[in-house]
Structure 1
Amino acid sequence: MTRKETITLLWVSGITGLFFFLFFSDEKSLQNLVISFLVASLYSFLIGGGNGLVNSFLSKKYSWIDQTRTRTVLGMIAILLVNVVLVLFCNYVNFVLIQGISPAGFFKGSIGFVNWLIINIALLISTFLHARSFMNEWKKASRKEVVEQKLIAKSANAQFESLKNQLDPHFLFNSLNVLSALIDENPNQAQSFTSAMSKIYRYVLEQKDKDLVTVEEEIDFAKTYCDLLKTRFEDSVSFEFLVNDGDRKGFVVPLSLQLLLENCIKHNYATSAKPLTIKIYSENGNLIIENNLQAREQVKESAGIGLANIVQRYSLMTKRNVFIEKSESHFKVKIPILTEKITEMNTQNTIEMAAYEKAAKRVEELKGFYGNLISYCIFIPFLFLINWKTSPHYWWAFWPMFGWGIGVISHAIKTFGIGNNWEEKQIRKLMEKEQNSGNWK
């Protein structure tokens, strides 16, 4: 038992002892005040401490978060057994040993009723303490989840930025290789290539900080880049653009076409006798880059930056996949055309806000339930006390106890997700059934 718990139980003992001394003691003396405090301490420390030990033991063995159902069932059984035993023990010490009542009448008459009443009060308070324990564990788990999600988001952001930063040196390195080849082959074309490359690189610098650009922007840039390639390869390479007008309003990751076009040139040979034909078209929500396969022998192993970069960037932004098809005659890459523009990588903020909203909603639900439970624990015993003092022959307090109790149980079922879990399972089953039957596309 911690120091804070001990101080709390002392306060409870003092207030309870003073209450019974003022309203139930016939003789207002220092001796009776001390006895009232000692009796109250007996109840507080035995019942409160006993419940605390049981709660602590169960929480160590069974997690409120991972084993909620098992922890709840065992908690209910433990609450019932521990409180019945401890209350009867405290009542026996109080009524039989201290007040001198005959043991034969311990379970009869008014003493029997007091046993029943105190057991119910102890059960209500113990239920509240166990519910409070669940709330504390859930808060810890929520904070831990938010921290983990923040770390995941930061990692995703860092990875995404790293992938985008690969593009500058990659594009520049390959362009300089082309320029170097042109200087030897055709100095005049090399000059034109240098001028065109400066325009293209300006676009690279403008778009590299964006997560998505329109298909139309990317195609316009790709056409300019194709003109640059035509400067070097002339009639050895041909390009076809057949993109639907409707798909031009969609979005793709920037420089994806440039990387894929570069990939085609890098891995295939192109001659006037056997030209390399590259087609860029849209189909079924995808932007497709296809070329006839004329694989060249690689002198050195490729770094694999281009295609891998696109695949990884898409994996960080959408669940839709990049598809790669290869046959004996052609090589094809399908990149998803997205319908929603993202100007910044807001993964961290989105996850954090979603986690915060979920936590805030859950806290409101828990506050409502605990407010209901605390009110029940406070007012029902007072109603019985009033009933006992005013009309002991007709126990009308049972009616509000049962009615309100049903409401508290229903509130608990809703708050702790018993009904929600059932609904989620049914929804999941229906979704899987629809997917298996082929109705979902």
Structure 2
Amino acid sequence: MKRTNEVFFKNHWKRVLIILPAFVILYLIGYIMDPFSEYARTFFHRDISEILTDFGITLIFCTIVCEISILISNWLDHKLPWIEHSRKRFVIETLLNFVAVLGILFIIFSIYSYYVPEAGMHSVLTDSKYIQETREIMQQFLITLMVTFLIMVINTGNSILLKWKNTAVRAAESDRIAMEAELQSLKLQLDPHFVFNNLSVLSELILRDQQLGYEYAENFTKIYRYMLVNSKKNIIHLEEEIKVLNAYIFLLKQRVGEGLIFEIDIDRKQYLNSLPPLTLQLLVENAMKHNKTSKSDPLHLKIYTNCEHSLVIENNFNPLETNTPSSGIGLDNIVRRYRLLGAAKPEIFQDDKIFKVTVPLIELK
């Protein structure tokens, strides 16, 4: 990331974008203020060498003023930042720029008076030529102050704009880091949630039926491997989720037997769309946690896609007699992961007969 105190004029070509307009504006304002002055009337009647010399001196002057304005701005960035001292900064920067320009003009006029004695301060005030030159000097002074102020305003404006952009970039970067940390934290919650619910079942099956215990361990391993491989992924193809769901259904059948009835009807065209890893597992586990799963009163679970490119997980609403407290891992986990991914929010519907969660499928461009 670029340094936050980087200013608009750091690159040389960007300096040119200010120096050249200042150069043109200086001549333009001078002509507008006194279009009938001897300087304006005779300018293009001079020798080309005199014109080029005039251009060169003016260009050097604009460059010096621009560089001084930048140096003052950079120095004040450390002493009086705009955010904390905006008014004081504006007044002091304006005064420093004007004082610097006065110093430059004093040096220029001193050199001019030294090499052109008739233009010096010893000239008689009633002399018309001296009065004309004095007026032109005052005009040049005012023009220079105007151009200096213009350079300062543009330099300051772009400096503030760049700082604002850098602040916005830092804020976005901070949000992104926080989002990734929260997303990773949410994914790590899945491990103990999954392991705790299945290890006890596995130990019982091994004692009762070794072959069934072996199959259970195989499917358990398949799911856990899936979790480890995809732990760093934010989204995964629906096809992969369905494959691991089949292994998960096997585990559930061993836990509740005929107390759970599954119906899966998914459009294969949606297989390449994506969703956060283990979304289906969490929703199925959530349905089982809060509903009866007995042989006489089974839980009916339907998983299907709709015409809106969404996945629907629906179950009959048959709550347990004792309300099981929520751990916050299931539905909340999914909703937060979708939010952090910037995807549409999952929809939850419930009445006295069904409970339904609709999760958007993310289309990868």
Range into which the TM-score falls when normalised by the shorter chain: 0.5 to 0.7
Q: 2:339 aligns with which of 268, 291, 315?
A: 315
Question: C-alpha deviations, 1:64-99, integer Å up to 9, x for none?
Answer: 9xx9xx9xxx99xx89xx89xx89x98xx9999944
Q: How far is the alpha carbon of 1:180 from its aligned partner?
A: 5.8
Matches within 5 A, 1:16-415: 98-99=121-122, 101-102=124-125, 109-179=132-202, 189-190=212-213, 192-283=215-306, 284-298=308-322, 301-340=325-364
- How many angstroms apart in 1 are the aligned matches of 2:125 and 2:82? 43
Structure 2 unaligned blocks of 5 or more: 1-63, 114-118
Q: How far is the alpha carbon of 1:293 from its aligned partner?
A: 0.6
- How many angstroms apart in 2 are the aligned matches of 1:103 and 1:206? 94
- How many angstroms apart in 1 are the aligned matches of 2:343 and 2:128? 73
Contact in 1 for aligned 2:290/2:324 (Cα 8 Å)? no
Residue type of the alignment partner of 1:242: D
Contact in 2 for aligned 1:289/1:334 (Cα 8 Å)? yes
Residue type of the alignment partner of 2:310: N
Q: How far is the alpha carbon of 1:190 from its aligned partner?
A: 4.7
Change (3 A) 1:188 1:250: same
Question: C-alpha deviations, 1:204-231, integer Å up to 9, x for none?
Answer: 2222232221111111211221122123
Change (3 A) 1:127 1:243: same
Contact in 1 for aligned 2:339/2:345 (Cα 8 Å)? yes
Structure 1 unaligned blocks of 5 or more: 1-43, 342-441
Q: Could you say what secondary structure the match of 1:335 adopts? A: strand
Question: C-alpha deviations, 1:155-185, integer Å up to 9, x for none?
Answer: 2221121111112221111112444676798
- How many angstroms apart in 1 are the aligned matches of 2:301 and 2:126? 100
- How many angstroms apart in 2 are the aligned matches of 1:263 and 1:185? 28
Question: C-alpha deviations, 1:265-296, integer Å up to 9, x for none?
Answer: 11111222222110101111211111001111
Q: How far is the alpha carbon of 1:299 from its aligned partner?
A: 6.2
- How many angstroms apart in 1 are the aligned matches of 2:81 and 2:234? 47
Q: What TM-score do you get using the length of structure 1 for normalisation?
A: 0.53
Contact in 1 for aligned 2:317/2:352 (Cα 8 Å)? yes
Change (3 A) 1:340 1:133: same
Contact in 1 for aligned 2:303/2:311 (Cα 8 Å)? yes
- How many angstroms apart in 1 are the aligned matches of 2:279 and 2:348? 14
- How many angstroms apart in 2 are the aligned matches of 1:118 and 1:179? 92
- How many angstroms apart in 2 are the aligned matches of 1:236 and 1:212? 31
Q: How far is the alpha carbon of 1:114 from its aligned partner?
A: 2.9
Measured on the aligned residues, the alpha-carbon RMSD in Å equals: 4.3
